[in-house]
Structure 1
Amino acid sequence: MASSREYLDFVLEQLEGISGIDYKKMFGEYLIYINNKPAIMVCDNTPMVKKLPELLELMQGAPDVYPYEGAKVHLALDIENHALTRQVLEVIDRVTPVSKRKKKPQ
């Protein structure tokens, strides 16, 4: 089931005041970026983040979720917990490199 635009709007409202937030629709789901770095996936109306070692202590007790069949495990993010969400985004911004665009073959 794809995520609804209404739910994405709700998630984006929770992120108001955090600079560098952008999103892209991908295959009926959404990927939210911070400073051009992939940060939060919204799949089946569930916000989730990559299960990074740097997040394990901070997100202790967060349920494991899978964005799609065959995907690596992610952590469900309680988007309404603003303090936690800000801390998670700070960690992701710090440890995730900016994706380099691949040049198209000529």
Structure 2
Amino acid sequence: MASDIGFVEYVIEQSQLAARLGHKRLFGEFALYLNEKVVAFVCDNSLFLKNTEAAARLAPDCPMLPPYPMAKPHPMANALLDEPDLLRKVLLAIEAELPAPKPRAPSKRTKARR
């Protein structure tokens, strides 16, 4: 079942990160980005955190479930939607822990225009 954009907007609102927390559609579901780093996923209208030490430390009670079939378990963080301050803190900690994204190679179209 694909996730609703309304649920994604609700997660962003609850995080209190506004425009800093972006989203992109990903195979009918969504990836949530903070400073160009994937920090969470929305799958089947549930919030799954990136499985990091920060997530384990700050949200230890989140059940570990696969966000989609055949996926590795991730912390399912729907309970954090009722605790906006903790949700924001967890997402910021996950972002701080992740490495910077690698620069993207120019596309073939860009190279052809030169």
Give your verdict on TM over 0.5.
Answer: yes
* 2:89 aligned residue (87, 92, 102): 87
> Shift of the alpha carbon at 1:101?
3.9
Asked if structure 1 preserves the Cα contact closer than 8 Å seen for 2:16 and 2:88, the reply is no
Corresponding residue of 2:33: 33
Normalising by structure 2, we get a TM-score of: 0.80
Asked if structure 2 preserves the Cα contact closer than 8 Å seen for 1:50 and 1:73, the reply is no
Q: CA RMSD in A?
A: 1.9
Shift in alpha-carbon separation, 1:51–1:87, aligned structure 2, 3 A:
same
1:23-52 per-residue CA deviation (whole Å, 9 max, x = no partner) reads 101111011111111011000000111221
- Which structure 2 residues correspond to residues 1-106 of structure 1 after superposition, within 5 A? 1-18=1-18, 20-77=20-77, 78-103=80-105, 104=107
Give, as a single letter, the amino acid of the residue that structure 1 aligns with 2:41. M
**Structure 2 segments unaligned to the other structure (5+ residues):** none
C-alpha distance in 1 between matches for 2:21 and 2:89:
14
Normalising by structure 1, we get a TM-score of: 0.86
C-alpha distance in 1 between matches for 2:31 and 2:46:
11
- Length, aligned pairs only: 106
Rg larger in structure: 2
C-alpha distance in 1 between matches for 2:62 and 2:17:
24
Relative to its length, the structure with more helix (as a share) is: 2
**Structure 1 segments unaligned to the other structure (5+ residues):** none
Shift in alpha-carbon separation, 1:93–1:28, aligned structure 2, 3 A:
same
Asked if structure 2 preserves the Cα contact closer than 8 Å seen for 1:29 and 1:42, the reply is yes
Give, as a single letter, the amino acid of the residue that structure 1 aligns with 2:47. P
